[in-house]
Structure 1
């Protein structure tokens, strides 16, 4: 008995936030599709969890909507497109790569490069230290200061 308990505890268990069995679709294939879609969508309350992992009320509502669309026979892409049209690309855990996302991810690198260029320009514009006075210049300087 102890061996069975130890063996069952050693296997990872995927904990989905589907609280109510009535929430699940009766067709196992549709349910697995709904779970796959839900794992790609961000919980708008938790923001770092998928709607399948979240127990927030809004996530529960979104899971219900996903399952309704799957039960209607829509494809995975149609369900995701409907969610994106409704909530924007933020609902996707992995948003598509667009110019805006590239700009967002590239701004720190761009800021670093601008800072380095500004530092190089500022360093080069510094006035160089003057050369030491020659003996003739030192003698002239002494002459001028002695006259005072």
Structure 2
């Protein structure tokens, strides 16, 4: 499989010419069956213009390419009302018809897992952005008997 690395900065999404160039590049790569590997260009990003993690970047890119679905994988299988790693009374949400202010507020900002930096709040904020761009969202793990396929 052919891969292609794209390093983006936040200003790409507010500059019409850059936005159009990234869209053209991504659609051409996908037409050629290449797998784009997209990350923030940390070396040139100004602190005030960074994504902070790749969750929001993935949401904005999914909107840019008019994706049908955004899949965000995490070490926690879905969204809980509390952290299931530290609270055994945590209840899992099977489906959220909407991301309400109450749900966003009860989700504390966590530093993420040993594999990432975003945490669940970051994923929810990214999901809210993707949904506003017409992209459906799945947040969960790829492990276990009910893997995302």
TM range (shorter): under 0.3
**Higher helix fraction (1 or 2):** 1
Q: TM-score, normalised by structure 2?
A: 0.20
**Higher strand fraction (1 or 2):** 2
Q: TM-score, normalised by structure 1?
A: 0.20
